[in-house]
Amino acid sequence: MTETLPIAPWRVFTVTVAALRRLSPSFVRVTFSGVDLDRFADNGYDQRIKLVLPMPGQHGVNLAGGADWYAAWRALPEHLRNPIRTYTVRAVRPHLAEVDVDLVLHGDGGPATRWARRASVGDEIALVGPDAGYDGSHGGIEFRPSTGSCLLLAGDETAVPAIASICERLPLDTRGTVLLEVPDADDVLSLITPPGIEVRWLPRGLDAHGSRLVPAVAAAAEELLLPGPSGAAQPVVDLDVDTEILWEVPEEVAAAPLYAWLAGEAGVIRTLRRHLVTERGLDRRAVAFMGYWRLGHADPA
């Protein structure tokens, strides 16, 4: 009698590029297909996944499956490890065995951007994502607002896919503000949002990262938290984004007038967090902040 192995929350999907669509100068949508993508869980919101990319000159990837895929990858010599990058699911169509992922094209320095600029229909990679057969929480979703809170969703171009996906799942009576700093005015995309959500796009042109987002968040906090701070200003440990991961998501979300979800370049997100928690007095348990990337540093796997 064959023993049935328990289903893990995540699994490795071998996928093929089915379509490529350039959404704007900075965004490309990749549609992946695969024989078992009908088992990919459609959890929505900011569901994280991993893309496992080919090595230079390699067709496809060689990645062990099963629950210990990451340990097996870590055990490989560094020069044999396929690059792994984290992204957000943009859309899932289990009935078609398809998954959409929106990638940001910034420069040509990282393996994901290099791959995306050269990708063509038929290319094969691996995608690590939630298994619909698992009966439980898959993890990888950080958007967890308290009931009735006004929302402040803010980020740079790397957060646009996650915020777009979050907005599509919000209840119709949700109120709040979305702030999106992007490289170019042509990067403004059409978002599906409830009527009570105001979306502000902030093209920065040649200015520094955060030059538009930081003052916009401060102005939005002033509007949404009037007549003043929601509580006493709280000291926060100022993390060194060069040595520490800037990622804090409250397990228990505080009942507060505002729930803030912030993601993007780590130094900018640190500044936004300090403003909301230390200067504005927003309960830190009502702020999810994530340093998706660090200026001048390679992305971690």
Both structure tokens of 100: 């959409």
Do 156 and 247 fall into the same domain?
yes
Which residue, 225, 186, 290, is CA-closest to 299? 290
Last residue of a domain, one of 71, 96, 130: 130
In a domain, 78, yes or no: yes
178 in the same domain as 287: yes
In a domain, 162, yes or no: yes
Tokens of 58: 């390699």
Q: Are residues 165 and 208 in the same domain?
A: yes
| Amino acid (1-letter code) at residue 205 | G
- Total domains in the chain come to 2
Residue from 133, 125, 111 nearest 33 by CA: 125
pLDDT in tens, 205-250: 999 999 999 999 999 999 887 444 445 555 554 544 444 567 888 8
Domain range for residue 203? 150-293
Nearest to 114 by CA among 56, 58, 179, 171: 56
Pair 159, 103 in one domain: no
Would residue 176 count as lying in a domain? yes
Please give the Cα distance from 19 to 105 (Å, whole number). 17
pTM of the predicted structure, to 2 decimals: 0.90
Tokens of 99: 């998954």
Residues 122 and 50 in one domain: yes
In this structure, the answer to whether residues 120 and 207 fall within a common structural domain is no
Summarize pLDDT for 4-40 with one digit per residue, the tens. Answer: 568 899 999 999 999 999 999 999 999 999 999 999 9
**Residues 157, 80: one domain?**
no
Give the CATH number for residue 91: 2.40.30.10
